[in-house]
């Protein structure tokens, strides 16, 4: 980890920032395999060092009880592996050529090998979570993978379907994204021996933060800077994923409009994409989506009131602001 990355970690994750290196070390150990082709693929998939938000949430939740890194670190690494493996599989399903400005694994290797790479990473994540020594946390991890898979399956099944509404969208991202955030905080609290009230408070915080995170992600797909995002605007819409800004726009303009024309355009969709994006961006839909993201972030912050004051609680509170204002 570079000095710049360490400084960023310290600013974001406060009291657990220095311990995040242990999560990175555990993730690096996954690459130590004898099979050279698999090692190259793991190097590619695990090379990007993102914010590691989910494992940081595990450690921050653990700070409210018995802060045992021998148990918390494997859960944090397992959750990051699960998240990364799910992205590897998503890119195969979507036929994505790049992510965050880098070629995807399926663009570098063939699809069949990339699916196996994702499987290997899922297996590693499952093995790693058993190192926590907690059967309830291992079961929670398995249930979370089921929720994530259900959300992803639903998203693919609903491609280009204008019949889905905002409530359906919220259910989908609750499984696809927020479930893993909730497991990060709930699992960390369980491993730290927090009481039931504390575990539930942290689970609720993680879930609501995850909902806000995904809504902002979907907003950035319309208004984010291409250089910072590492992908052109409207990628989700082009793949048929109708996210919250587009749903709000369609609710406000239910008759013929640029988004409906785009969705019905078949082979001509790519040519109609700029018009559809502009229609959403120039409407009130982006601000309506931001408002709902703020609502979820506020719910996350309100849930912290049940937890002891201190550096960990203050850091969790500040992360809500980071999620709402991030640019990539």
**CA dihedral of residues 288, 291, 296, 299 (deg, nearest 10):** -140
- pLDDT confidence band for 292 (50 / 70 / 90): very high
Structure tokens at 99: 């992510």
pLDDT band at 255 (very low <50, low <70, confident <90, very high): confident
Q: Specify the pLDDT at position 221.
A: 94
Average pLDDT over every residue of 78-105? 85
Bridge partners (DSSP) listed for residue 102 = 99
Give the single-character DSSP code of 102: E
Q: Give yes or no for a contact between 289 and 215, defined as CB atoms under 8 angstroms apart.
A: yes
Q: What is the mean pLDDT of residues 118-146?
A: 97
Q: Are 66 and 113 in contact (CB under 8 A)?
A: no
Beta bridge partners of 98: 103
- In the chain, the percentage of residues whose pLDDT exceeds 70 is 97
* Cβ neighbours of residue 11 closer than 8 Å, sequence gap 6 or more: none
- Predicted local confidence at residue 225, as pLDDT: 82
- Which of 266 and 226 is assigned the larger pLDDT? 266
Are the beta carbons of 327 and 224 closer than 8 angstroms? yes
Q: Is 20:55 a contact under the CB 8 Å cutoff?
A: yes
Q: Give the span between the Cα atoms of 42 and 36, in whole angstroms.
A: 10
pLDDT-above-90 percentage for the chain: 77
Spatial separation of the C-alpha atoms in residues 78 and 67, rounded to whole Å: 17
Q: For residues 310 and 61, give the distance between their C-alpha atoms in angstroms, rounded to a whole number.
A: 12
- pLDDT tens, 234-251? 999 999 999 999 999 999
> At residue 316, does pLDDT exceed 70?
yes
**3-320 belongs to CATH 1.10.600.10:** yes
The pLDDT value recorded for residue 9 is 80
């Amino acid at each position: 980890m570079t000095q710049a990355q360490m400084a960023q970690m310290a600013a974001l994750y406060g009291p657990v920032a220095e311990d995040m290196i242990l999560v990175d070390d555990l993730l690096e150990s996954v690459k130590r395999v004898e099979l050279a082709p698999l090692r190259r693929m793991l190097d590619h998939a695990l090379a990007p060092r993102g914010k590691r938000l989910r494992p940081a949430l595990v450690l921050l939740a653990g700070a409210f009880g018995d802060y045992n890194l021998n148990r918390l670190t494997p859960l944090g690494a397992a959750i990051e592996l699960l998240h990364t493996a799910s992205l590897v599989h998503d890119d195969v399903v979507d036929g994505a050529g790049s992510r965050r400005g880098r070629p995807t694994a399926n663009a570098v290797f063939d699809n069949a090998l990339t699916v196996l790479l994702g499987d290997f990473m899922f297996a590693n994540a499952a093995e790693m979570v058993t190192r926590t020594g907690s059967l309830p946390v291992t079961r929670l991890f398995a249930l979370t993978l089921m929720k994530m898979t259900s959300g992803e399956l639903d998203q693919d099944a609903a491609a280009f379907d204008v019949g889905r509404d905002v409530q359906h969208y919220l259910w989908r991202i609750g499984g696809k994204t927020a479930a893993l955030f909730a497991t990060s905080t709930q699992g960390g609290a369980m491993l730290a021996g927090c009481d039931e009230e504390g575990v539930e408070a942290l689970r609720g915080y993680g879930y609501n933060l995850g909902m806000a995170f995904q809504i902002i992600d979907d907003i950035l797909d319309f208004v984010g800077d291409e250089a910072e995002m590492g992908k052109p605007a409207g990628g989700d819409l082009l793949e048929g994923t109708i996210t919250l800004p587009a749903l709000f726009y369609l609710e406000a303009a239910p008759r013929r409009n640029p988004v409906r024309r785009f969705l019905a355009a078949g082979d001509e969709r790519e040519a109609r994409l700029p018009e559809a994006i502009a229609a959403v961006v120039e409407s009130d839909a982006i601000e309506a989506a931001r408002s709902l993201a703020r609502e979820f972030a506020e719910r996350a912050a309100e849930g912290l009131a049940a937890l002891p004051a201190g550096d960990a609680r203050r850091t969790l509170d500040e992360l809500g602001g980071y999620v709402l204002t991030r640019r990539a």
